[in-house]
Amino acid sequence: MPRPATDPAKAAQIKLLRQQAGRWLKSAREEAGLTQAELAEKVGLRYYTFVSQVESGLGRLPIETQGAWAEALGLVPGDFAKTLLRFYEPELYRLLFGGESASRALKGRAAG
């Protein structure tokens, strides 16, 4: 069964959320005093460019690597994963934790 075409507004919203996640990750890396290359080495990446892609919002962290990233950044793994979930899967975050999802908050900001 073919996948339905992505709604352009939803695609823009996803892009914006990934960029926000990237800014949060960059801030966490800088607070940990790490360069992109140092973080890449700590999490077992061959090239630092993946860190750059994630921080710019072009990529996202796979679930299976989030624990290593949290540890490398000196953050609590559960809190780290929960924060990323808010950006990467806003409706799932809303269902699990209640409150407003990141995507709904963005819509509210765009309308105001």
CATH of the domain at 27: 1.10.260.40
Q: Quote the pLDDT of residue 40.
A: 98
With respect to residue 4, please indicate whether it lies within any of the assigned structural domains. Answer: no
3-class DSSP state of 57: coil
Q: Quote the pLDDT of residue 7.
A: 84
Contact between 32 and 44 (Cβ < 8 Å): no
With respect to residue 3, please indicate whether it lies within any of the assigned structural domains. Answer: no
How many independent structural domains does the chain possess? 1
With respect to residue 50, please indicate whether it lies within any of the assigned structural domains. Answer: yes
With respect to residue 49, please indicate whether it lies within any of the assigned structural domains. Answer: yes
The pLDDT profile of the chain, 112 residues, written as one tens digit per residue, is 676 667 898 889 999 999 999 999 999 999 999 999 999 999 999 999 999 999 999 999 999 999 999 999 999 999 999 999 999 999 999 999 997 655 555 555 444 4
For residues 106 and 29, what is the distance between their CA atoms, to the nearest angstrom? 24
pTM, rounded to two decimals = 0.81
With respect to residue 40, please indicate whether it lies within any of the assigned structural domains. Answer: yes
Report which DSSP code applies to 33: T
Q: Which domain holds residue 47?
A: 11-107
Query: What angle, 0 to 180 degrees and rounded to 10, lies between the N-to-C axes of helices 8-31 and 77-88?
Result: 150
